[in-house]
Structure 1
């Protein structure tokens, strides 16, 4: 090939100043201000006419002879109507797709968890995510993620679908999430084989038709007065945390994790931050007089109202559970919320107010949009009435209707 200008040579290259120096045949040596030298193949895009530069590598790795060979190969591509940069990009995509075929589900799971674990509210949830996958999605763990099909997902779910339906449902959702992550990162292609609607729902029975809701054993609300008397006869934080849970109708973990800076004694309000709530939403609880009295009776040691045996840690859930097994065999602390809910139902408490007291989230989105208030004032009246009820020996068959009593008071 004939070149219309003097070509570069090894000696000339050593003395070149910063700038772009032509060798001919679209080949240039770019000398940077700091002295580094790199090869470029410059050509014009056949559609836009704009110049494009394809890097051929630094002079330290690509000598003059090799650079000319690379430039010659690119000129041949142009003669064949192939854009060198586009061809290079397509080749990289093909190589990436081939590498993706060797990426396992386990590898994707690890990277998905590493990226998302920080957003999850507590260590228990993070541990459950990984353990359920390694236990129940075990057949998928060693598989190449690009090879996973519907049959593989169903094979993992079927053994537990009818016996551990709730767990199986979570496992399916998590498999779907990991596979979606893999697709978004181009480690697999096509529809998600773990998707429910219009897919897995046509293969496996709907969970709602399988699972039997297991309610936590609840102390009858008419027995709550006797139960709280039994608790007050016991010393120690285990009894106090159960009493606190009864007076506030919270979950066991929310009760044991109570911190002093969440309590406003003057306003008589306990505010649990969203990261400690099951639904992830901040929850305010109006505190009755007995609840405030309980707080005042406790020594303030550290940040937790109910400190545990380990430094900077709350009382364990097992403490309240073990005491309850001793005082009321067959019942569990979580069932105390059901006791409160039963009392609400039998005393005419407005359903929405009762649900707010329990921090239950309204599942209907349109209904939830209208319920922006947390109903603190009506809940204050309910929690006061609840405290009064459990402080008083109930008369069988003569339970006061709170709706009527609060109406008279107002």
Structure 2
């Protein structure tokens, strides 16, 4: 029977050891690589299986080296650590499993510490940055940013997102739930989306405390479904008179508003129009999908009057069709403020309703032609699937008729009143 090794190595042998495995006895081995790198390993038997556990970077080794100021374990230090591991094995403890559990606990503690440092505000800002590319316009981003800054961040912005719970969400919503129901509903939805994203990123666990159905619906009083409200519109018979008032004004906003009425377009579509979208020869204004509410490209047929307006503003030599007073893009409020100065109790968007009422009551154009003129989506999915065209030529005739109606007895003629860049 071979003699059992115990403390077989000397410090000098350790120092001069060649590449290979060198046994010291009692399960302790010195491993030397061809590169000269060396490490200590303890081999043990547990449940009939031989296993190796490294000692050079274990917690005990790190502590010994910290105390001694050394860089590598000495033979004596390695023997001391091996003795600790032998005691663990005799007690039925698997050193490798113990090390794995300790590493897992350390990783979990580190993750918990990192998660605790992630605030709701930081998560919200990350969510906005990740999703803003899919939002149609900067206004939507601004609404997200403003509502969160006004109603949410003062309450829970600096909280760890992992700690946000139902009482915190209620503290945000209850002060505005009855006073500003539409805003409160949007805030709740935005908080819910942010907390869902936080869960996906493993910043939090459990149910979403901002969820409405089956949760907040049981606490907050039910809201009646709010209508978005109607944009106050002028009776279509009054439109020619309003246009006559616009003709007396020399501001670019007056021409922009007249163009908006003649094309039945939305404010954002007009103020954001560039000359790259306009084909004067073909009398077509093509609005890209990313500028349209429905997310689809929209071609607008231009009447002779609309072309005359474009010819006039073309002289302003700006990339924007209707530039602002400082040369950049016109403000979204320019036309609304003009109507206010004219003492007109209608909205810019309301002229779309005026157009639609006129088309329904005074013309025989089919419903779908009128709806496409307003760039409305087709509600019937089957009809939408089979309708490939945009009824452009029919819409051209419709818009020419609308322009003639708007002219009424005004007889605009071919000339446009000279314009200058004045306050809008």
| TM-score (norm: length of structure 1) | 0.75
Stretches of 4+ aligned residues off by more than 6 angstroms: 3-10, 20-24, 29-32, 37-43, 49-55, 59-62, 69-75, 363-367
- TM-superposed deviation, 1:233: 2.8
Q: Does 1:262 align with 2:311?
A: no
Larger radius of gyration: 2
Q: Does 1:128 align with 2:136?
A: no
Q: Does 1:291 align with 2:306?
A: yes
Change (3 A) 1:231 1:29: farther
- TM-superposed deviation, 1:221: 0.9
Kindly indicate whether the alpha-carbon contact (under 8 Å) linking 2:30 and 2:38 is maintained by their aligned counterparts in 1: no
- TM-superposed deviation, 1:192: 1.3
- For 1:244 and 1:70, locate their aligned partners in 2 and report how far apart those are by CA, in whole Å: 87
- For 1:22 and 1:180, locate their aligned partners in 2 and report how far apart those are by CA, in whole Å: 56
Give ranges in structure 1 of 5+ residues lacking alignment. Answer: 395-410
Q: Does 1:225 align with 2:233?
A: no
Q: Does 1:161 align with 2:177?
A: yes
1:109-157 per-position Cα deviation (integer Å, ceiling 9, x unaligned): 2332333345444333222211101212232223222222223223322
Give ranges in structure 2 of 5+ residues lacking alignment. Answer: 411-424
Q: Which of the residues 127, 130, 135 maps onto 1:115?
A: 130
2:187 match: 171
Q: Does 1:65 align with 2:73?
A: yes
- For 1:196 and 1:365, locate their aligned partners in 2 and report how far apart those are by CA, in whole Å: 29
Change (3 A) 1:233 1:94: same
Q: Which of the residues 359, 382, 385 maps onto 2:375?
A: 359
- TM-superposed deviation, 1:189: 0.1
- TM-superposed deviation, 1:218: 1.2
Q: Does 1:251 align with 2:277?
A: no
Farther off after superposition, 350-359 or 259-268: 350-359
Farther off after superposition, 242-251 or 72-81: 72-81
Kindly indicate whether the alpha-carbon contact (under 8 Å) linking 1:41 and 1:56 is maintained by their aligned counterparts in 2: no
- TM-superposed deviation, 1:7: 9.4
Q: Which of the residues 156, 160, 168 maps onto 1:152?
A: 168
- For 1:72 and 1:119, locate their aligned partners in 2 and report how far apart those are by CA, in whole Å: 62
1:30-71 per-position Cα deviation (integer Å, ceiling 9, x unaligned): 788xx9x7979899xx9xx999999959x9999322996999
- For 2:266 and 2:194, locate their aligned partners in 1 and report how far apart those are by CA, in whole Å: 30
SS in 1 for 2:73: helix
Change (3 A) 1:168 1:358: farther
| TM-score (norm: length of structure 2) | 0.73
Q: Which of the residues 173, 184, 189 maps onto 2:200?
A: 184
Kindly indicate whether the alpha-carbon contact (under 8 Å) linking 1:38 and 1:56 is maintained by their aligned counterparts in 2: no
Q: CA RMSD in A?
A: 4.3
